[in-house]
Amino acid sequence: MHRCGLLTSSKVPVPLKSISVDVTIRGFVADVVSELQYQNEEKNPVEATFVFPLDDEAAVYAFEGLIGGTRIEAQIREKKQAEQEYEDALSEGRQAFLLEREENTSDIFMCNLGNLPPGEEATLKLRYVQALVVEPDDAVRFVLPAVLNPRYVPAAGSEGSTVFQQIPRVSKEALPYTLSLSAKVESPYGINRVDSKCSLTQNISEDRTAAQVSLAKGHQFDRDVELLIYYEDVHKTSAILETGKSGAAPGSLMGDPALLLSLYPNIPAAKAGQCVPGEFIFLLDRSGSMGNTLGNSFGSQSRIESAKETLIFLLKSLPLGCYFNIYGFGSTFDSFYPQSVKYTQQTMDTSVQRVKELRCDLGGTEIIKPLKAIYSQPCFEGHPRQIFVFTDGEVSNTNEVIAEVRHNSHFHRCFSFGIGEGASTALVKGIARAAGGSAEFITGKERMQAKALQSLKKALQPAVTGISLSWELPSGLEAKLVGSGPQFIFQGQRCLIYAQIQGQLQTSGSMEGTAVVRYNFQNETPTETTKFSFQFEKTDRLPVHRLAAQVLLQELEEDKEKVEEKRVLALETSLSSGVVCSQTAYVGVNMELGKPVQGPLIHRNVPLPGPWKTSKEQHSSFLCKLWRGQRTSAEITEADSNQSLEERRWL
């Protein structure tokens, strides 16, 4: 697993002095400001690239830098334009930086920092907003990701190829930087407590509507930081109404007020005799990376052992009369049975014993092949197919995998488990979204059973289809749903709905509204009416608007119908909202022209902090690079000029 930062190829870090994170959590929304401070201790100017993970549902909406005393505010541009502006700035000797999302996955970002002079400091500030999930024990979970796992690249006709060449690692004891985190939690419904595996200091107000939390001093950024917030009434319906962006056109997503409604549909219990046992197919990642531990805490079990425990728990909990099968995958795949078998005491006992004997011995992480094999098997009539996937998500072809699952979504539901810190949120959440299931992340043993049981309960619930939503709002107001709205809902699971509010709004006092949800369930059409009150909220950061834009962007980019039309709309949405997507990037340029950098361009590989890998693990690792040296635009070699930014980035 990798952690984030800049290091020279001579194993001397471009020291990341500190990481300072400020989080504001209001109910189920986290607004995050991350500030990273670096100093160039080299004798030459540097240009460096660093890579960091974010949740795939996080909306990155602002980026700026303070370099050599000059504040540079980045602007969002179409990606090719941003890259060209960045290249032009460097060739002119200007300081610049570029932030973009990795091409093939939505949970990895890359930042280029160019022309940092010797002895100079640089501060980079990233802002993003994220909707938080509710755990099975009703904890609202915020994660600050630190771990970036390598992503395996499958290759046709071989066991796989490397993502990037093997590079040195720095042990966690030698990490050159520390982390400080301060979180302010606000909720009108009451805060019970805030828990974490990390040492915390916390203070909850007397009325329990606010809490201040910070990491204890001396924390090293060598693991994910997880905050579990327990509200007094987490299932209470809530609504946030946010004013539009000043200067934005009325009628646009950013110009109109935005509503975030959080509700819990009360789905009727399944009728007796109408619950049919399904077909349960378990797909277990047995690649080499599953031998790594769940996290960095002492005594942490391996990912494969955690996945096997979860699988065995589910096997023992299946209903009588169902069918099941178990697949393992790596560079190759195999299955326990040629096709799914009837669930009996004997088949269960035999399968449990075989699961206990499984090892992570199948090489790379190629999940497409077993998925296609499963989809090629005919379904059992009257037994809805449910697929459970257990993986650390270390694949590079995330979009291809999600597309394959979506293509077959009419024939199954997919429930996924991300195993260990750094599990790809893009893959784990993406395949669950694509096939009407849900995603869980297992980073420790203590909450594994509750998460597994919750997923099984959802799989046993008959499918809810044909979901529609209507509104009853104060006179003169209309609600326009952002995106297509919820496509699947489960009993006891929170549902977030974003809407654009049009019309003349009352800007003081509270208002009331009603949301009416209709859906098809077991040949009936239940109607659920939820009343809510809301007040105007004014904020420059516009977290609800950014989240609404992210939901729309995710939907547009995952939809493979009318691709060109969706691409244009996604680009317009990204540029107007400031939320980064696959087509856009942030670029910042210091317009105060400095002395041009002299000399030829010299490429240097940049190691990342992390454990040393064995030869068996060298098939996958992430690479950052450091460009050292001096140049002018006239002295860039023809070979350099013929290479794209993407090609040079990974030299």
Give me the pLDDT at residue 583, please.
96
pTM for the full predicted model: 0.87
Give me the pLDDT at residue 298, please.
52
Provide the strand spans (E) within 490-623: 495-503, 510-520, 527-537, 584-589, 601-606, 608-609
What lies within 8 Å, CB to CB, of 90 at 6+ separation is 47, 96, 114, 115, 597
The mean pLDDT of 524-530, rounded to a whole number, is 87
pLDDT band, very low/low/confident/very high, at 505 (cuts 50, 70, 90): confident
Q: Is the pLDDT of residue 135 over 50?
A: yes
Q: Is the pLDDT of residue 64 over 90?
A: yes
Q: What are the pLDDT digits (tens) for 152-201? A: 555 553 333 333 333 334 555 666 667 789 999 999 889 999 999 888 99
CATH 2.60.40 segments of the chain:
16-235+579-605
Alpha-carbon distance 89 to 647, whole Å?
A: 18
Give me the pLDDT at residue 396, please.
80
Q: Is the pLDDT of residue 648 over 50?
A: no
Q: How far, CA to CA in Å, does 617 sit from each of 114, 235, 287, 393, 474?
A: 32, 44, 10, 15, 60
pLDDT band, very low/low/confident/very high, at 628 (cuts 50, 70, 90): very low
Give me the pLDDT at residue 170, please.
56
The CATH topology of domain 16-235+579-605 is Immunoglobulin-like (2.60.40)
Range scoring the smallest mean pLDDT among 164-178, 426-440, 479-493, 632-646: 632-646
Burial of 20 (C-beta count, 10 Å sphere; 0-12/13-18/19+) = middle
Helix (H, G, I), strand (E, B) or coil at 64: strand
Q: Is the pLDDT of residue 607 over 80?
A: no
Alpha-carbon distance 430 to 558, whole Å?
A: 9
| Contact between 228 and 141 (Cβ < 8 Å) | yes
Q: How far, CA to CA in Å, does 118 sit from each of 345, 597, 629, 630?
A: 69, 12, 11, 12
Give me the pLDDT at residue 620, please.
33
Q: Which residues pair with 441 in a beta bridge?
A: 418
Backbone phi and psi for residue 87, each to the nearest 5 degrees, phi listed first: -60, -45
Using left for φ > 0, alpha for ψ between -120 and 50, and beta otherwise, residue 382 falls in left
Give 296's DSSP letter: S
| Contact between 99 and 110 (Cβ < 8 Å) | yes
| Contact between 161 and 155 (Cβ < 8 Å) | yes
Average per-residue pLDDT for the chain = 83
Torsion from C-alpha of 38, 103, 431, 554, nearest 10 degrees: 90
Range scoring the smallest mean pLDDT among 46-60, 123-137, 265-279, 517-531: 265-279
pLDDT band, very low/low/confident/very high, at 2 (cuts 50, 70, 90): very low
The CATH topology of domain 279-460 is Rossmann fold (3.40.50)
Q: What are the pLDDT digits (tens) for 220-273? A: 666 788 999 999 988 888 888 899 999 999 999 999 999 999 988 888 776 655
The mean pLDDT of 588-599, rounded to a whole number, is 70
Q: What are the pLDDT digits (tens) for 355-375? A: 999 999 998 889 999 999 999
Give me the pLDDT at residue 377, please.
94
The length of the chain is 651
Q: Is the pLDDT of residue 1 over 80?
A: no
Q: How far, CA to CA in Å, does 253 sit from each of 10, 262, 502, 563?
A: 49, 19, 10, 21
Question: What is the radius of gyration, based on Cα positions, of the chain?
Answer: 25
Q: Is the pLDDT of residue 337 over 90?
A: yes
Q: What are the pLDDT digits (tens) for 427-463? A: 999 999 999 999 999 988 777 888 999 999 999 988 8
The mean pLDDT of 389-399, rounded to a whole number, is 88
Alpha-carbon distance 171 to 247, whole Å?
A: 49
| Sheet of strand 75-78, all strands in order from the earlier edge strand to the far edge | 75-78, 584-589, 96-101, 108-116, 46-53, 624-629, 601-606
Q: Is the pLDDT of residue 132 over 70?
A: yes
| Contact between 438 and 415 (Cβ < 8 Å) | yes
Give me the pLDDT at residue 588, please.
95
- Closest C-alpha to 172, from 336, 51, 298, 310: 298
Give 94's DSSP letter: -
**In what helix (H) or strand (E) does residue 231 lie, and over which residues does it extend?**
strand 225-231
Give me the pLDDT at residue 641, please.
42
Chain centre distance of CA 221: 19
Give me the pLDDT at residue 616, please.
38
pLDDT band, very low/low/confident/very high, at 67 (cuts 50, 70, 90): confident
Amino acid at 66: L
Give me the pLDDT at residue 639, please.
41
Q: What are the pLDDT digits (tens) for 70-125? A: 889 999 999 999 999 999 988 888 888 999 998 888 998 988 888 877 788 889 89
Share above pLDDT 90 across residues of the chain, in percent, rounded to a whole number: 51
**In what helix (H) or strand (E) does residue 543 lie, and over which residues does it extend?**
helix 543-558
Helix (H, G, I), strand (E, B) or coil at 534: strand
Give me the pLDDT at residue 612, please.
38
The mean pLDDT of 3-28, rounded to a whole number, is 68
Give me the pLDDT at residue 274, please.
58
Give me the pLDDT at residue 596, please.
63
pLDDT band, very low/low/confident/very high, at 216 (cuts 50, 70, 90): confident
Give me the pLDDT at residue 449, please.
86
Provide the strand spans (E) within 521-610: 527-537, 584-589, 601-606, 608-609
Q: Is the pLDDT of residue 68 over 70?
A: yes
Share above pLDDT 70 across residues of the chain, in percent, rounded to a whole number: 81
Give me the pLDDT at residue 521, please.
86
Q: Is the pLDDT of residue 542 over 80?
A: yes
CATH 3.40.50.410 segments of the chain:
279-460
Helix (H, G, I), strand (E, B) or coil at 451: helix
Give me the pLDDT at residue 163, please.
33
